[in-house]
Amino acid sequence: MAMMRLRREDPRVVGTFRLHRRLGAGGMGVVYLGSDKRGQRVALKVIRPDLAEDQEFRSRFAREVSAARRIRGGCTARLVAADLDADRPWFATQYVPGPSLHDKVNEEGPLSPAQVASIGAALSEGLLAVHDAGVVHRDLKPSNILLSPKGPRIIDFGIAWATGASTLTHVGTAVGSPGFLAPEQVRGAAVTPATDIFALGATLAYTCTADSPFGQGSSEVMLYRVVHEEAQLAGVPDALAPLLASCLAKDPADRPSTLSLSLRLKEIAAREAHGLSGGPLENGSGAGPGWERVERRSAERPTGQRAEEYARQRTERRTAGTSSPRQHPSRPPVPRDASARPAGPASAAGKNPRTGGRNGRRVPAGRPTGRNGSRTPVRTTSGGRRPGPDRRLLRQRVIVFVVVTLLVALGIAAAQGCQGPTRGLGAERPGTAVPSAGVGGPYGAGEQNP
């Protein structure tokens, strides 16, 4: 989205938000890029002064802001804050980074059918959340759709009205964009969810052709075509043309529901993404391009005598696999009986003297293995039992137990040897007196000074 510097007449602070750039201007007011104290970026729209003086507009605007708070869904820009009692009412929505659908098509040209169907399916889900909240957008168009990294987002609910509300702010003045307005909006009739379906159909047609389905011209000419002429869908792909034509029906009752449109667009998006358009191929087979890979794989399978030989070989391999271990075709079979093994440099136990394993297989040091690599004790050809991991572990435990026992015994003996002389020092000898170390000095209590 293009950003412009703030002008002299633009405010610098609105509410608790600081304004940084201009994002654009419309019929209701100016949209700014702002941020709050935490750094969260918002798109803040300030209402025009003349509309701010219209009490009827203020009351309707208050009702629609309240309804917009109820909208839940990932395909819309969430309402963050609003002030309906300010001198110039304003509201702030979540800022969505990314170009608008209008700028995308204007710079890169029409999108592919798969992209159009995918964007349309996401927008249909967004409209479904809007309609479930009892709100009609009324101004859905390519410039009000932002292509964020997480998918398309619907923005600018500034002129959205509740279901069944009138479309006129003043008598004879239709609110919206010519070329994307529904016929009932032009006539001043009540708006319904079908009104947004018409606008979505015109938006997707623009995405396919880079032009409005009602051409170009003045507002009066465009509004007349919307009411009295059929939409031009010559450049729309065949996969989308019938569905978009039903969205652009003059009678709201003839348009598909929001849920039905979402499901059909998802189906078209999946089919186009996989190349299964369902149209005839150049060879007249009637299958879509996605079936060419399946036909190619089928043609590569053996047929006739080759197929019979292939089936016989598979049967023999399956039968041999059930009675003996699978062997490589280029290796000779290894006899299961140890006595039938050919004599060679291997030992009687079948070990290779260089690698230490059976039949030339290398066995890591310290990791005795059995047949098929299992770490279990196996019997040798001499009838003895080679120690496996359980016996070796038991042996280690016994050694540790003996060592610990010896250490404890040596510690006890050393302690007893140290205590023997200590007891001798405290014993009385004949003919000697043990001096007292009392607190009375060198003489104990009760002794007389000589």
Residue for token pair 């009637």: 286
What pLDDT does 67 receive?
A: 72
Give the separation between CA 11 and CA 17, rounded to whole angstroms.
11
Q: What percent of the chain has pLDDT over 70?
A: 62
Average pLDDT, the chain: 74
pLDDT score of 82 more than 70? yes
Classify residue 156 as exposed, middle or buried by CB count within 10 Å of its CB (0-12, 13-18, 19+).
Answer: buried
Q: Active-site residues: which are they? A: 139
Say if residues 83 and 31 touch (Cβ distance below 8 Å). Answer: no
Residue 45, annotated as binding a ligand: yes
Spatial separation of the C-alpha atoms in residues 17 and 44, rounded to whole Å: 9
147 pLDDT above the threshold of 60: yes
* pLDDT tens for each residue of 408-434: 998 888 888 765 544 444 444 444 443
The DSSP call for residue 213 is T
- Are β-strands 17-25 and 135-136 bridged in parallel, bridged antiparallel, or unpaired? unpaired
Only one residue has tokens 């040897």, namely 417
- Res 448 pLDDT > 60: no
Handedness of CA 115, 116, 118, 122 (dihedral sign): positive
Is residue 223 within 8 A of residue 178, CB to CB? The reply is yes
Terminal alpha carbon distance of the chain? 115
Rg of the chain taking only CA atoms, in angstroms: 45
Residue with tokens 């009490």: 55
pLDDT at 346 exceeding the cut of 70: no
Pairwise pLDDT comparison (311 vs 141), residue with the higher score: 141
Distance CA 335, CA 256 (A): 74
Residue 55 reports pLDDT greater than 70: yes
Residue 381 in this model has a pLDDT that exceeds 70: no
pLDDT at 386: 52
Residue 13 has pLDDT above 70, yes or no: yes
Q: Which residue did the predictor score with more confidence, 295 or 74?
A: 74
pTM for the model? 0.57
Question: Could you give the domains of the chain?
Answer: 1-95 (3.30.200.20), 98-276 (1.10.510.10)
User: Over 50: is that where the pLDDT of 174 sits?
Assistant: no
* Predicted local confidence at residue 253, as pLDDT: 95
* Confidence at residue 195, expressed as pLDDT on a 0 to 100 scale: 95
Which letter does DSSP use for residue 136 in this model? E
What pLDDT is recorded for position 450?
37
Strands annotated E in 10-130: 13-14, 17-25, 29-35, 41-47, 79-83, 90-94
Euclidean distance between CA atoms 86 and 107, whole angstroms: 39
Closest-CA residue to 22 (of 96, 157, 11, 158)? 11
Q: Which of 28-37, 110-119, 279-288, 436-445 has the lowest mean pLDDT?
A: 279-288
Cα–Cα distance for residue pair 61/68, rounded to 1 Å: 10
Between these two residues, 348 and 391, which has the higher pLDDT value?
391
Higher pLDDT pick, 418 / 242 = 242
Candidate from 218-222, 266-270, 356-360 with smallest mean pLDDT = 356-360
What is the spatial distance between Cα 45 and Cα 156, in angstroms, rounded to a whole number?
A: 9
Q: Which residues contact 230 (CB under 8 A, 6 or more apart)?
A: 248
Please compute the mean of the pLDDT values over residues 44-51 and round it to a whole number: 89
pLDDT digits over 197-240, tens only?
A: 999 999 999 999 999 999 998 999 999 999 999 999 999 999 99
pLDDT digits (tens, 9 = 90+) for 101-140: 999 999 999 999 999 999 999 999 999 988 988 888 888 9
